[in-house]
Homo-oligomer: A and B are copies of this chain.
Amino acid sequence: MAGNSIGQLFRLTTYGESHGKSIGGIIDGCPAGLIVDIEKIQLALNRRKPGQSNITTQRKEDDQLVFLSGIFEGKTTGTPIAFEIQNKDHKSKDYHHIKDSYRPSHADYVYDAKYGHRDYRGGGRSSARETACRVVGGSIGEQLLAHYGVRIFSYVQSVGSLALTKSYSEIDFTKIFSNIVRCPDSEMADKMIAYIEEVKKRGDTVGGTIQCVIQGLPVGLGEPVFDKLHADLAKAMMSINAVKGFEYGSGFQAAKMYGSEHNDAFYKEEESGRIRTKSNLSGGIQGGISNGEDIYCKIAFKPIATIMHNQESVNKKGEKTTVEGKGRHDPSVLPRAVPIVSAMAALVMADHLLRSKVGKI
């Protein structure tokens, strides 16, 4: 109820504050017998961690992952998979200046209002550090999905007004991690990097969008009414820090279209015998259920609220105060959010994959 779990059958529960002893989680419901590649999970974590490049925060965090249970002789046992990542770069002293001040567009004020007191160090539970646990859970989900032939790709589609206009189908997904901004088009990537560096110099931050594509999903995942596949996907993506919008398939563009141009005609693919659609404005989901075509969606991130400018605010008592612009923060959340978006997609798809196993006799 307190919202620290996601998924029904494949269920991740996370814990941890930015500056507590550790962060971590428990994955309950991962089927037994899955061979787990821990290095792949650590790789995903490394792609999320701070301090990777000069366009991400210079904070160093090792994010060394340790599994505590649920994996034996390299395979899942069907029991809970617990994991832990130590918090090392505490520097708690850095945060006393925000103990009583409410940083604009952060969660400081609402936490105080909701809970009465809060762990103010580094944002506590509201810190994006929490997303590391999503990456671990999602990465195991991705390995479960891979067992069934499902693949997930995410990449930076826009930063500020710089947008890749190509469709995902024209993209070479193997190039996503070939540059530090995680945009698979090298020309656009260079522009984005230069732009983010400039924004950083100004002490400012900038938003952007990430595209996510899911391929190879079987037909029949998703439940027809409230737990439509894209509804659960939307929730998962919107739950990532800084996300303000979600669309899938034709998305907001659909609002301007006619039915006669939007419908996806069915046909039978001769070689496979599968029923497919000629176009895919539906985005791989019809009536909330996967139809076997690619699922694709776009997620909008706001600019990070922590900027290197002094900002006016109030303290607990409502008195005027100034929040100083200092510390080490990302000029753009986008590059580091790429593995988080994939993780959230994997968590939702792994859960619905299991749920789909009990749909008929």
CB of A199 within 8 A of CB of B77, answer no
Contact between B1 and A13, CB atoms less than 8 A apart: no
B106 touches A286 (CB 8 A): yes
Which B residue sits closest to A247, measured CB to CB?
A: B245
Nearest CB of B to A105, in Å: 4
Asked whether any CB of chain B lies closer than 8 Å to the CB of A52, the reply is no
The answer to whether A26 touches B1 (Cβ under 8 A) is: no
Interface contact A305-B259, CB-CB below 8 Å: yes
List, sorted by A's number, 18 A–B pairs whose CB atoms are closer than 8 Å: A1-B29, A1-B223, A2-B9, A22-B69, A31-B358, A69-B125, A75-B117, A77-B115, A105-B262, A110-B290, A114-B356, A206-B257, A226-B236, A227-B239, A231-B238, A234-B237, A250-B302, A275-B314
Is A81 engaged at the interface, CB distance under 8 Å to the other chain?
Answer: yes
A114 CB → nearest B CB, Å: 4
Contact between chains at B254 and A301 (CB < 8 Å): yes
**Interchain CA distance A111-B307 in the complex, whole Å:** 49
Contact of A307 among B116, B259, B291, B314 (CB under 8 A): B259
Q: Do A70 and B244 contact each other (CB < 8 Å), given the known contacts A114-B359, A124-B77?
A: no
A17 to chain B, nearest CB (A): 6
**Does the CB pair A125–B359 fall under 8 Å?**
no
One of A53-61, A172-180, A183-191, A264-272 at the interface: A264-272
* Minimal beta-carbon separation of A58 from chain B (angstroms): 17
Which of chain B's residues have a CB closer than 8 A to the CB of A241?
287
Chain B residues with CB under 8 A of A161: 256
Are A254 and B69 closer than 8 Å at their CB atoms?
A: no
Task: Indicate if the CB atoms of A263 and B115 lie closer than 8 Å.
Answer: no
Question: A4 — which chain B residues lie within 8 A by C-beta?
Answer: 26, 28, 79-80, 223-226
Distance, CA A81 to CA B16, complexed state (A)? 8
Question: Would you call A304 an interface residue if the criterion is a C-beta within 8 Å of the partner chain's C-beta atoms?
Answer: yes
Kindly list chain B residues whose C-beta atoms are within 8 Å of the C-beta of A126: 224, 287
- Of A79, A82, A357, chain B has the most CB atoms within 10 Å of the CB of A79
Within the complex, which residue of B21, B314, B358 is in contact with A29, where a contact is CB–CB below 8 Å? B358
Residues 209-251 of chain A, each 1 if its beta carbon lies under 8 Å from chain B, else 0: 1000000000110111111101110111111010011111111
Question: What is the CA–CA distance of A273 and B316 in the complex, to the nearest angstrom?
Answer: 12
Is A355's beta carbon under 8 Å from chain B?
Answer: yes
A77-B115, A102-B266, A115-B32 known; A302 vs B244 contact (CB < 8 Å): no
Q: Which residues of B contact A275 (CB under 8 A)?
A: 102, 109, 314, 318
- Residues on B with C-beta less than 8 A from A263 are 104-105, 305, 307, 311
Closest residue of B by beta carbon distance from A262: B303
B79 in contact with A17 (CB, 8 Å): yes
- Taking the complex as formed, is A51 at the interface, i.e. its CB lies under 8 A from any CB of chain B? no
Q: Which residues of B contact A38 (CB under 8 A)?
A: none
Report B-chain residues with C-beta under 8 Å of the C-beta of A111.
224, 287, 289
Distance between A289 CB and nearest chain B CB, rounded to angstroms: 4
Please tell me if A313 contacts chain B, counting CB pairs below 8 Å.
yes
- Residues of the B chain whose Cβ atoms lie less than 8 Å from the Cβ of A11: 1-2
